[in-house]
Amino acid sequence: MRASLVALALLFAACRPEETPPTVDTDEPVATPTSEADLESLTMGSVPVNPPFAPDLHYYWVRASDLGEVETVVAKAFASDAVVEVSVETPDGERLSTGPKLSSDANRRVRVDVTSGDGTEERTYSVAVLSDGFPERTVEGEPSEGWTFLTTTFKEANGTTRALMILDGNGTPGWWRDVTKSTFDLRVAPDGRLTWMGRTAENPDALQNLVMAADGSIDVALTASEPQAGWSLTQVDEHEWYLLDDGTAIRILNYRVTEDLSPWGGPESQRVEHQMAQHVDLEGNVLFEFSTEGMVPYDDLPPNLVGDMDEIDWEPIHFNSIDVDPADGHWVVSMHRVSMVVKVARTGPQAGEVLWELGGATSDFTFVDDIRFTGWEGFAGQHSVRVTGPDRIKMFDNSRGDGREAGDVRAVEYQLDMDTMEASVVWHHTWTGRGQAFAGGSVQSLDNGHHLVGFGSLTTDANDDRVPTLTEIDANGEEIWNLWLPDESWTYRAWRFEGDPMTMDWIP
């Protein structure tokens, strides 16, 4: 046997002993090599990898249930003197086995390391062995550089699991985790670690703020801070959690208080849902906080919210994003239910005070040339508001506010003039005919001038046709890449980062 041909027996969980794997022809080159360490072919015994093998493509996947009881990984290099090594590891990189008897089941990664005969060139190939329930990913087009980070928020009725995933442009996971309950907002921290809102084995029922170490263990798992007097049902909120450069973090808590809503026609004793925006250290000590309580007088609420006051856990405001303005360190906060963005002083004599309001009934700004076709002015029910420059913000506009439709979903950027108190649209992209999203959505500006847009809960358009979960548009507004999750599955927010899932080295 040539030194470049490695045939290692793998014992897999799914059994098909009655089937005999067909002979796999590994002698015919599939492409011209570019390196002495390129593979000529890679198969999982009788099961071809997805997408179809190509020497310059290093990430693949298979379903564990498609593999027989005993399969053979056949990895053949172009160069006869190349050294090929096969091993099985976890998605976090923990090596489980090597040698002629490798065992694997779902949620394992088959790793193939190739070294040229003179030792000067190396290549690594990865095959993700996925569970049957891991969500299907369908892609169209070619994205720009980097890996796409997302979580699935809801699952199909047919048993699709929820998952965290880091995907290449083909939708192939380089890193992933199956989970049983919804997780939110997977992203890279300034120090390169991964963060998200999810659950742990030690505390499986409570959403927590999580930070993962490079080896896959959880470095930080913060639950909600101690409730204040009158609070009930206090919990970590899923809408914002990220680390700052100094190692502290921003998060949101969700809690309930009992209020008298009778002055507005509501119940005399009603449980009301509020949020608390917090600046915390990684031990959970609160450094700064402010609440939705009192931020918008109930006299100024939209009529639909006032009319809903008799609903259990009535929610008047709903924080869904917080971003730090690098110019002054103050916070720009999105308040979804009132279609308002506010700037809150983080430091100084005005700390905790609202410095300006944009949108809503009491806006300090007027919108310039931003009247939608329904007559609505400005954004509506927005998500993921980010500071993009001096007095400039960008957001995903869900286009559904006050219970009314404002138009079609869009990504939009505003310049705020602090002298004239006008908000002008400097860039936008509208998906005509797509309709509105009631929850979720994000827009990330990429270094090359492109934008990665997530459509949140919007899964079908106004014609009931399936729409992409994510889209990348170029600087001219052309869609260059789309990704679809299964029906009824969506992602709250998505990000693009560069790095290496095999080493878990990520660039913030």
**What integer pLDDT is reported at residue 475 of this predicted model?**
96
Q: Are residues 196 and 125 in the same domain?
A: no
Q: Are residues 209 and 313 in the same domain?
A: yes
In this predicted structure, the answer to whether residue 5 has a pLDDT above a threshold of 50 is: no
Query: Measured between alpha carbons, how far is 494 from 488 in angstroms, rounded to an integer?
Result: 17
Q: Are residues 166 and 109 in the same domain?
A: no
Query: Measured between alpha carbons, how far is 103 from 90 in angstroms, rounded to an integer?
Result: 12
Q: What is the share, in percent, of the chain residues with pLDDT greater than 70?
A: 91
The answer to whether residues 135 and 171 touch, using CB atoms and an 8 Å cutoff, is no
**What integer pLDDT is reported at residue 169 of this predicted model?**
98
Model confidence at 160, pLDDT cuts 50, 70, 90, reads: low
The answer to whether residues 238 and 244 touch, using CB atoms and an 8 Å cutoff, is no
pLDDT, one tens digit per residue, over 144-153 is 999 999 999 8
In this predicted structure, the answer to whether residue 99 has a pLDDT above a threshold of 80 is: no
In this predicted structure, the answer to whether residue 307 has a pLDDT above a threshold of 80 is: yes
pLDDT, one tens digit per residue, over 251-288 is 999 999 999 999 999 999 999 999 999 999 999 999 99
DSSP code string of 13-30: SS--TT--PPPP---S--
Residues sharing a CB contact under 8 Å with residue 51, sequence separation 6 or more, in sequence order: 57, 60, 170, 172
Q: How many CB atoms lie within 10 A of CB 351?
A: 12
Tell which of 108, 130, 152 closes a domain: 130
Q: Are residues 70 and 190 in the same domain?
A: no
The domain of 272 spans: 138-507
**What integer pLDDT is reported at residue 194 of this predicted model?**
98
Mean predicted confidence (pLDDT) in 15-22: 35
Length of the chain: 508
**What integer pLDDT is reported at residue 374 of this predicted model?**
85
Q: Which of 68-72, 251-255, 290-294, 417-421 has the lowest mean pLDDT?
A: 68-72
Q: Which of 21-25, 31-35, 158-162 has the lowest mean pLDDT?
A: 21-25
Parallel, antiparallel, or unpaired for β 101-104 and 5-12? parallel
Query: Measured between alpha carbons, how far is 198 from 185 in angstroms, rounded to an integer?
Result: 9
In this predicted structure, the answer to whether residue 174 has a pLDDT above a threshold of 90 is: yes
Q: Are residues 126 and 145 in the same domain?
A: no
In this predicted structure, the answer to whether residue 422 has a pLDDT above a threshold of 60 is: yes
Q: Are residues 198 and 325 in the same domain?
A: yes
Q: What is the share, in percent, of the chain residues with pLDDT greater than 90?
A: 82
pLDDT, one tens digit per residue, over 44-89 is 888 899 999 999 999 999 999 888 766 788 899 999 999 999 999 9
The answer to whether residues 294 and 259 touch, using CB atoms and an 8 Å cutoff, is no
**What integer pLDDT is reported at residue 481 of this predicted model?**
98
Q: Are residues 160 and 178 in the same domain?
A: yes
Peptide bond into 51 cis (omega under 30): yes
Locate 450 and state its tokens.
């492109």
In this predicted structure, the answer to whether residue 26 has a pLDDT above a threshold of 70 is: no
Query: Measured between alpha carbons, how far is 319 from 292 in angstroms, rounded to an integer?
Result: 8
**What integer pLDDT is reported at residue 159 of this predicted model?**
60
**What integer pLDDT is reported at residue 405 of this predicted model?**
87
Contacts made by residues 456-462, CB under 8 angstroms, sequence distance 24+:
456/383, 456/396, 456/398, 456/490, 456/491, 456/492, 456/493, 457/153, 457/490, 458/409, 458/434, 458/490, 459/487, 459/488, 459/489, 459/490, 460/435, 461/433, 461/434, 461/435, 462/433, 462/434, 462/435
Tell which of 107, 130, 153 closes a domain: 130
pLDDT, one tens digit per residue, over 347-404 is 999 999 999 999 999 999 999 999 998 889 999 999 999 999 999 999 999 999 888 8
Look over the chain and give the mean of its residue pLDDT values, rounded to a whole number: 91
Q: Are residues 40 and 167 in the same domain?
A: no
Q: Are residues 350 and 221 in the same domain?
A: yes
Tell which of 130, 160, 178 closes a domain: 130
CATH code: domain of residue 205:
2.120.10.30
Beta bridge mates, 151? 164
The answer to whether residues 292 and 275 touch, using CB atoms and an 8 Å cutoff, is yes
Q: Are residues 142 and 96 in the same domain?
A: no
Model confidence at 426, pLDDT cuts 50, 70, 90, reads: very high
Q: Which is higher by pLDDT, 37 or 10?
A: 37
**What integer pLDDT is reported at residue 81 of this predicted model?**
96
**What integer pLDDT is reported at residue 491 of this predicted model?**
94
3-state secondary structure of 65: helix
Q: How many CB atoms lie within 10 A of CB 164?
A: 23
- Listing from the earlier edge strand, what are the strands of the sheet with 208-212? 184-188, 194-198, 208-212, 218-222
Q: Phi first, then psi: what are they for 208, rounded to 5°?
A: -135, 160
Q: Based on C-alpha coordinates, what's the Rg of the chain?
A: 25
Q: Are residues 59 and 159 in the same domain?
A: no
Q: Are residues 120 and 223 in the same domain?
A: no
Per the structure, how many domains does the chain have? 2
